[in-house]
Structure 1
Amino acid sequence: MRKILSGTLVLLLLVSLLAVHHLASGGSSESNVLLIPLYVYPGCQWDSLIQVKTLYPSISVIIIANPANGPGASEDSTYKEYIQKMRDNGIGVLGYVWTDYGHRDISDVENDIDNWVNWYNVSGIFLDGVNVSSADESYYQTLVDYIHNKSSSFLAVGNPGSYDPDTLDAELNIFDVLVIYDSPGYPESWPSANTSKLGALVYNVSSFNSGDFADLMGEAKYLYVTDGNAPNPWGRLSSYLVDEVAAITGEAKTDYVLRVSSHNTTGYSVVEHYITYNLSAGLYNLTYAITLKNWNSSGAGVDPMYVYVNDSGNADSYAYFTWTNGYNGIALYSCYYDGSTTDCRDLDYNVTDGWHNLTITVNKTEIGFYVDGSSVWNVTSRDITEVLRSGAGSWDKTAQYDLYIDNVTERDGSSTVVGENFDDDYDCYFTEHVGDVAVVPASDVPVPFFGSALAVLLGISLLILTMRRR
């Protein structure tokens, strides 16, 4: 998830992996349902929503699938697989069908409905482009009856995107759910009607406002708000999806981290983070933090973190932490490869004696290594234009390592800091998981960095160092 963070939150991010709990304000209503148009090809966005549902099982979620302004010309095996995955994880799926405000031939609409039912395990149909005119009531009643005849359990949702007070009651009698708002920004007015059948799809809302969202919860049972914008505001999940989930369920929003344990049977535990950060705009820091412990004393090691960078001459270099059986026994090293030579420095940390927090920061001219909040090495690098990849993980087959990965943070040329959270992450980082990998509450991380006076002092020092590089 990309969101603007204050300097205080940066401090928390760098210092601690402990959960920061806060209650979503504005009340809650267990009856509300997230109705999410997910107009993107199945993949990590869909997986992210399944993850949110797993982390907050009490939330009710229905998505709208839309392969090609409808079901498309033929069955798509990927859609089939992911729609079933959604259903298996307790998420309803509606098939999108365009009606052209009552102008589309009803037999064509019914053919789309047939294809949705025959090809995919949907739980209902979403009729878009609904006309609010009374002249088309019989048209839509015929379609809703057609849907219900397919299955009495199917949900028939109509989306006029607005409403006419004179015809609203009649439309509510036709559809199971009626989306009467589908526009940018929160609605300025709302009718006095049966809230349990009303829906609202709100886009182009840059940040989560608990009061506005709570008001909408009281007006529409089916709702969704996103910071997505035209031309396809539904092309990714809202960056504050979990805030909405917390508000609806009344649960505390929990910070999550990624836990990776070495695999002990069939292969390696691997987590790869493939992303490109453009550093050409100026000062731009990337912070990547993990917490780890190695119980192994036999000499086997692991490289827990890699950051690959590209310079203005289009040459790759990389920085990484490793522990291995070196000159002083099993020790932690920081290493930098400049394109021709690898320089590894013994950091004099015994990684068998407890948990450690590792961080690598990158800006245009410098790569910094930090252990437990203390700077251990700063490398003056060539003009860095891109961070090509941040990777974590490649373990041997003995179950002896646990690694916890906190949020990835970035700071761009305007000193804006954005974070990537595993619980509500729309950029789908860390999507390649092999072995024992799970998202867990940050409170499960064994090192209580936050709350320790020493840790806070170390974090403040790190923050000051970071600010000096701006």
Structure 2
Amino acid sequence: MNRILIPFVCITLGGIAFRVTAPEEDSSPEKRRQSALEFHIRAQERTGLLIPLYLYPADIHKNADYNRLIDLKRRYETVPMWVILNPASGPGNQIDANYTKAIDRLRGAGCMTLGYVSTRYGKRAEAEVRKEVDLWLKMYPRTQGIFFDEMVYTDTEAGVKHQCILKDYAHKLGYWPIVANPGAETPGRYFAAEAADVIVVHEGDSIPKEERLKGDYFGGNSDYPPFTRGVLLHSQKSVDKAGLKMVRKYARWIYLTEAVYRENDPKAANPWNRLSNHLEALCEFLSEK
């Protein structure tokens, strides 16, 4: 649905001022009805896995990690899986047949596939980002969604407008879902403006506190549905079911891996370049009633 941003309104409650940005609702009854129906359907969705699979699909039919993921999706068919592919910090400049086949195999198992595009926290020109989105469509047309990494998250109208332009562009090309990852606390105005279908509100080595995820105040996270939020965890030695049970109340897309990330350590620079050893335990947890 096309949205028009309106200026923020400053509301004061108990001496605290909250800035609120909201999209102007389309007045068309048919579009409003369709939007309500889509909301209803998404609100009933199970908690799913958002899997950054930055692993090259060499020898795809025998690739142990890809085959393990495909097998788990077939065994746990009710657990939604969105898989992010990242050939070269983006789509790259030429078609790689291994990625073409990987996308086919993942889709064949029932996984949604998303193409990686970095926005460098709004520092990349919109035209440059759009070009990479175009390349995903040109080179890997069976990719279904886009993952905008390093999303801008400044608490400004300019930041929201920038991200909404990118989301709208990808939507107009037929991409869904659009997931954006600032990996950090995201101002409410981005959710109010529907700057992405899902925003990753936490990427780190510990489960976020419930008080932070709940955001139970005017303009906080409690004002926006769980299916619009995701959480990515690295450096996890085990699956903390109690912690994840809390997280899934507020974020419908999750993933965790034992792989370690340490800043400025080349030996622990990317926790997403291998498939989590906890994946089966995650599937079991999410398949429970």
Amino acid in structure 1 at the alignment position of 2:47: N
Cα deviation 1:268-324 (Å, max 9, x = unaligned): xxxxxxxxxxxxxxxxxxxxxxxxxxxxxxxxxxxxxxxxxxxxxxxxxxxxxxxxx
Q: Pick closer, same or farther for the CA change 1:52–1:118 going to 2, 3 Å.
A: same
The equivalent of 1:163 in structure 2 is 185
Change (3 A) 1:169 1:58: closer
Bigger Cα Rg: 1
The answer (yes or no) to whether the contact 1:132–1:160 under 8 Å persists in 2 is yes
Aligned to 1:31: 46
Q: Is the 8 A contact 1:206 1:227 kept in 2?
A: yes
1:224 to 239, 249, 255: 255
Query: What is the distance in 2 between the residues matched to 1:208 and 1:31?
Result: 19
2:83 to 57, 63, 76: 63
Instruction: Give aligned pairs, total.
Output: 221
2:105 pairs with 1:85 = yes
Contact 1:203/1:227 (8 A) holds in 2: yes
Name the residue aligned to 1:237.
Answer: 275
Pairing of 1:7-22 with structure 2 (within 5 A) = none
1:53 match: 73
Of Structure 1 and Structure 2, the greater strand share is in 1
Is contact 1:30-1:248 (8 Å) kept? no
Per the alignment, in what secondary structure is the counterpart of residue 248 of structure 2?
Answer: helix
Q: Which residue does the alignment assign to 2:203?
A: 182
Give, in angstroms, the shift of residue 194 of structure 1: 1.9
CA-CA distance at 1:165 after TM superposition: 3.8
How far apart, in 1, do the equivalents of 2:248 and 2:70 lie?
22
Aligned with 2:149 (options 112, 118, 128)? 128
Q: Distance in 2 between matches of 1:56 and 1:206?
A: 23
**Is residue 2:138 matched to residue 1:118?**
yes
- Structure 1 unaligned segments of length 5 or more: list them: 1-28, 252-470
Query: How far 1:91 moved relative to its partner?
Result: 0.3
SS of equivalent residue, structure 2 residue 92:
coil
Query: What's 1:138 paired with?
Result: 161
* Matching of residues 389-468 of structure 1 within 5 Å: none
Name the counterpart of 1:377: none
Deviation per residue, 1:437-467 (Å, 9 max, x gap): xxxxxxxxxxxxxxxxxxxxxxxxxxxxxxx
Distance 2:56 2:187 in 1: 37
- d(CA) in 2 for partners of 1:194 and 1:164? 14
For residues 407-463 of structure 1, the C-alpha deviation after alignment (integer angstroms, 9 at most, x for no partner) is xxxxxxxxxxxxxxxxxxxxxxxxxxxxxxxxxxxxxxxxxxxxxxxxxxxxxxxxx
Equivalent in 56, 59, 62 of residue 41 of structure 1: 56
Superposed CA offset, 1:19-78 (max 9, x none): xxxxxxxxxx96111000001101321111001111222111011101111011211110
Q: Is the 8 A contact 1:52 1:242 kept in 2?
A: yes
What percent of counterpart residues are identical? 32
CA RMSD of aligned residues (A): 1.6
Q: Distance in 2 between matches of 1:228 and 1:122?
A: 26
Q: Distance in 1 between matches of 2:109 and 2:276?
A: 20
Once residues 194 and 166 of structure 1 are traced to their aligned partners in structure 2, the CA distance between those partners, rounded to angstroms, is 12
Native 8 Å contact 1:94 1:125 kept in 2? yes
Partner of 1:415: none
Q: Relative contact order, CA 8 A, sep 6+: which one is greater?
A: 1
Does residue 247 in structure 1 map to residue 285 in structure 2?
A: yes
Aligned residue number for residue 92 of structure 2: 72
- Contact map agreement 1:30 1:249 (CA 8 A) in 2: no
C-alpha displacement at 1:168, in angstroms? 4.4
Query: SS of the counterpart of 1:182?
Result: strand
Structure 1 segments of 4+ aligned residues over 4 angstroms from their partners: none
Distance 1:167 1:54 in 2: 38
What's the TM-score once normalised by structure 2's chain length?
0.73
Residues 147 and 119 from structure 1, CA distance in 2 versus in 1: closer, same or farther, beyond 3 angstroms? same
- Give me the whole-angstrom Cα distance separating, in 1, the residues matched to 2:276 and 2:233: 11
Q: Choose between structure 1 and 2: higher helix proportion.
A: 2
| Aligned partner (choices 161, 173, 176) of residue 150 of structure 1 | 173
CA distance in 2, matches of 1:116, 1:181: 26
Alpha-carbon offset, residue 164 of structure 1: 3.9
The residue type paired with residue 34 of structure 1 is L
Are 2:236 and 1:212 aligned?
no
Equivalent runs, 1:337-416 vs 2, <5 Å: none
Deviation at 1:174, TM superposition (A): 1.7
CA drift at 1:166:
5.0
Judge conservation of contact 1:62–1:93 (CA < 8 Å) in 2.
Answer: yes
Determine helix, strand or coil for the equivalent of 2:249.
helix
Instruction: Give, as a single letter, the amino acid of the residue that structure 1 aligns with 2:67.
Output: D
